Structure 1
Amino acid sequence: MNTLEKKAFMKRFPVLNAPVQVGLVGLCLVFATPLCCALFPQKSSMKVSSLEPELQEEIRKSSPHTTTVYFNKGL
């Protein structure tokens, strides 16, 4: 935005500063959100020993041989 504000067009029409800024942010979000969702895996794993004590106990009661749990991070 700093570079655009120095251009003659933006100096001539300063009222367009906010709409251009909102448009550029929207454009970035349109492409960045799907890209980041594609780059970072949605499912993740965690060792049972790093969970809360209550949850560790519950998992060990229901499945004593489980060492890793998998979860969906969601959006």
Structure 2
Amino acid sequence: MAADLQISDQTIYNWRKQDRIDAGLEPGITSSDQVELVAARRRIAELEAELAVTRRASELLREVVSPKGGSRPSR
């Protein structure tokens, strides 16, 4: 059947192994946990990018405005 569908033996093996993991018959990360993990990693990347932008904006504001709010540099 795999040959008829042009699916490799390795792909069938991977599917069967993942099915056994999902059924709790083998140790490993379940499909649902894998989906959740991918979403969490994506969200972490988004938050890290937002944090980098916020830090850069803070640096730019620090360069423009002195801590005392004056227009002359301190001596």
User: Could you state the TM-score of these two structures normalised by the residue count of structure 1?
Assistant: 0.35
Q: Which has the higher strand share?
A: 1
Q: Which has the larger radius of gyration?
A: 2
Q: TM-score, normalised by structure 2?
A: 0.35
